Amino acid sequence: MFKKMISKATQKVSEVSSKAEESLGGIKDSSKVIDKYWPMIEGMLVKNFLSKTTTNLDDAALEKVLSTAYEALPAPVRLVLPKEKFIEFCLSKKGDILQKAKSTAPISLEELLPKFIAVVSVVDGVNDELIREGVKILEEKEIDSSNLAKFIGEFVVQRALSKEEFEIRVSEVIIEAKGMEDDKKEELKAIIDRLGVKELEIIKEIG
């Protein structure tokens, strides 16, 4: 009786494993699984489990975060990829992961506002009074700082000039940025992204 139960349990485990492998395209090796799904895994870690406040974690603290993240992986992946292997691989990529988490974290009002003003200050019709009005609205509405640049961009467009004129002015700023240091170019690109002006082809020419 006991042997029969063990046999059924073993068969059930085998069936589950086979289904997991089938859903992963027949991949059995855990290293191949993590290589194939790393972009998805990395994106999940950066977006859902790491933030600006966790970028200085030591390995022990980071392991706890990774352990929680492992449980969020699709079941077929977890069946083929052991938790220890997952954590070990992620720790080997610690620098890259934390750098991406830091670069995608929301920028505070204090950090973003001066940078944004430096970009939009070249736009006709933008003055200190207009900026102060925008900041007052921000404070009253308590808009999330991650949406600050887009809000001010829309605010400037509504009060100072048309969207088309605004894009032209931003294009001119980008063209002038050709001589910028690389880190400043990336900073400017990040600001432009937050403005929602991604359709500007000229952005692609930077770098």
Q: What pLDDT, in 10s, does the model give residues 128-168?
A: 776 677 666 656 665 555 565 566 666 666 665 555 665 56
Q: Decide if pLDDT at 66 tops 60.
A: yes
Q: In this structure, what token pair is assigned to residue 33?
A: 């699984």
Res. 23 pLDDT band, cuts 50 70 90: very low
- Specify the amino acid at residue 78: R
**CA distance readout (Å), 131 to 51, 149, 195:** 29, 12, 16
Q: Convert the pLDDT of each residue in 73-83 to its tens digit.
A: 888 778 778 88
pLDDT at position 13, please? 35
Read off the pLDDT of each residue in 47-53 and give the average, rounded to a whole number: 68
Q: Decide if pLDDT at 199 tops 60.
A: no
pLDDT at position 141, please? 61
- Cα–Cα distance measured from residue 22 to residue 16, given in angstroms and rounded to the nearest whole number: 10
Mean pLDDT score across all residues of the chain: 64
pLDDT at position 25, please? 47
pLDDT at position 198, please? 44
Q: For the chain, which residues make up each domain, given as ranges?
A: 19-104, 109-205
- Cα–Cα distance measured from residue 143 to residue 154, given in angstroms and rounded to the nearest whole number: 13
Q: Convert the pLDDT of each residue in 90-109 to its tens digit.
A: 888 888 888 777 766 655 55
pTM over 0.85: no
- Cα–Cα distance measured from residue 129 to residue 21, given in angstroms and rounded to the nearest whole number: 63
- b/e for 137-148, b at 16 or more Cβ within 10 A? ebeeeeeebeeb
